[in-house]
Structure 1
């Protein structure tokens, strides 16, 4: 069983390090070269600290210091928390969850011999019950601070659609779990459900918009979770305690899984994955028409054109955030609102010759769900998180 393995069996032995006397520029260049968010600092082979992207931002950039003149030793986090190579995976997982950190240097006789990350533990620990649940929570987008609630007993209070929509708008959530009074999962409401609300009344409850949805348990394999997300075209799924225990314990996001598994991205080009049927709108189009198109086509965003020129993008979240989703789609005011009033610029693009891994990293860094493919200055396709999810489980 994986829990009885010593951590040396799953660690990465080739650790990227930087010397104690190096400059922050040297450290940043090595982090960029290897695509990592933190680097171990060593002194004569002994790990003495860690320097992370957060350290560089907080202690160098925000203080307006010249990175080339600041030594790693002055801004690194120390003392370093390490684990011994003979410690069991079970114990390391518990320590990682308790301390809420994402990587441990592995040592033998105070010498650095490897590194183990939450990604390593997630991959090998898909059958480890409650401990894995703690790591899912660490790697997941945090559970929404308030859930839309559907009380089962007549006469009990029910959350309103306006409340659920406000949460989605304020926090950028695509989905909210709906739970009963015992915190058992009843279903979900999505941003597209909120767009279908045509009533201007403020007393409409969520129960009429609840959808059944696949859920995730702590023992699920990450590949099966990716498959469900891709098929349902949902970036988030609720996590429950178990198949026979529907208490909601969190929400896991597609971007978190990608972040954990991006090193295992397939060796494919964007051109092999992208969709070529691109739905667009004009900047002068009315919001009412675009709103209907997004729902009819089952998509969450589309490029905005000015004639033949791409000038921006409009998404479901833009519409919800703008506040126009509170209005009846057939109202005179909504018909008069033009796309150009709420669209975002610029349109994020990528070359068709880039790799799937690059596309994943670009989407994660930008915090968006899709990126458009350009070829010779024109749009030739679109690739989204779901396309990339399918490529990882093919």
Structure 2
């Protein structure tokens, strides 16, 4: 299986000279999490991630995309999907621009962990419980936490989503940086303050933006079923719960690693 067979074509792009405020609007308007960045000649320079958008200070509207470009692995339409999966995992990137060749950086499409998981032959996986691969060290949020505090946590730990639990430890929902961007709160937070060390008085609460109902799975289901759940719900991570309490999480990276242990791309 080749990248060209499963990549997303005609991707939305930005230029290195574009303002970050413009890039933020493009992400929001198209419900995207990353954008290829092109130079003046239309060649790919790298990717802009929604995490980069969150790092821009709200009082600097003249900041350009060029200072926030992430280098990406070289992936072409002829790259084997298994190799592309390894490159994404090594780079800790969820998506990457696909270029024509090593010498021609013309953009051909986007390959993401979502693309790869959707096309993996998960029926070839041996049964393995989610409990064996889930992350049990989880940062959580309360519904009355401020968005400013959660923004700081996401920035510090490079998290894309944080589960929300009640003060009785029952899981309630999840807050994602995509939801923060979509609502427009990222640009209202004073990025120059230590927001994650103190609760901003004027910052909205997590309960205003958290996503419910929460999609969850039990620790006993198989990894292949967990992949199906991510695909069906079109989400990047899913909570593992037992008796309404959060016991772990699995995301696309961890499930992609499991796919590489099996002939899922043959």
Is this a same-fold pair by TM over 0.5?
yes
SS at match of 2:107: strand
Deviations, residues 212-254 of structure 1 (Å, cap 9, x unaligned):
1113112211111112222333221110011222111111122
Among 197, 203, 206, the alignment partner of 2:56 is 197
Among 287, 303, 313, the alignment partner of 2:174 is 313
Once the two structures are overlaid, the 10-residue window that deviates more, 327-336 or 210-219, is: 327-336
- 2-structure distance, mates of 1:173, 1:263: 29
Give the match for residue 80 of structure 1. Answer: none
Among 282, 292, 299, the alignment partner of 2:152 is 292
- 2-structure distance, mates of 1:234, 1:289: 24
**In the TM superposition, what is the alpha-carbon distance from 1:333 to its structure 2 partner?**
7.2
Give the match for residue 229 of structure 2. Answer: 362
* RMSD between superposed Cα atoms in Å: 1.9
Q: Is the 8 A contact 1:280 1:303 kept in 2?
A: yes
- 1-structure distance, mates of 2:112, 2:9: 9
Q: 1:383 to 1:241 in 2, by over 3 A?
A: same
Is residue 349 from structure 1 mapped to residue 216 from structure 2 by the alignment?
yes
Q: Is the 8 A contact 2:170 2:244 kept in 1?
A: no
- 2-structure distance, mates of 1:309, 1:272: 22
Tell which structure's C-alpha radius of gyration is larger. Answer: 1
Q: Is the 8 A contact 1:288 1:334 kept in 2?
A: no
Give the match for residue 87 of structure 2. Answer: 228
Is residue 259 from structure 1 mapped to residue 126 from structure 2 by the alignment?
no
Is residue 388 from structure 1 mapped to residue 255 from structure 2 by the alignment?
yes
SS at match of 2:105: strand
Among 163, 181, 187, the alignment partner of 2:40 is 181
Give the match for residue 242 of structure 2. Answer: 375
- 1-structure distance, mates of 2:200, 2:155: 20
Runs of 4+ in 1 over 6 A off after TM superposition: 331-334
Q: Is the 8 A contact 1:324 1:334 kept in 2?
A: no
SS at match of 2:179: helix
Q: Is the 8 A contact 2:47 2:72 kept in 1?
A: yes
Q: Is the 8 A contact 2:125 2:224 kept in 1?
A: yes
> TM-score, normalized by length of structure 1?
0.61
**In the TM superposition, what is the alpha-carbon distance from 1:257 to its structure 2 partner?**
1.5
**In the TM superposition, what is the alpha-carbon distance from 1:303 to its structure 2 partner?**
0.8
**In the TM superposition, what is the alpha-carbon distance from 1:189 to its structure 2 partner?**
1.0
Is residue 159 from structure 1 mapped to residue 26 from structure 2 by the alignment?
no
- 2-structure distance, mates of 1:334, 1:209: 30
Q: Which has the higher helix share?
A: 1
**In the TM superposition, what is the alpha-carbon distance from 1:304 to its structure 2 partner?**
1.0
**In the TM superposition, what is the alpha-carbon distance from 1:281 to its structure 2 partner?**
0.8
Q: Is the 8 A contact 1:287 1:335 kept in 2?
A: no
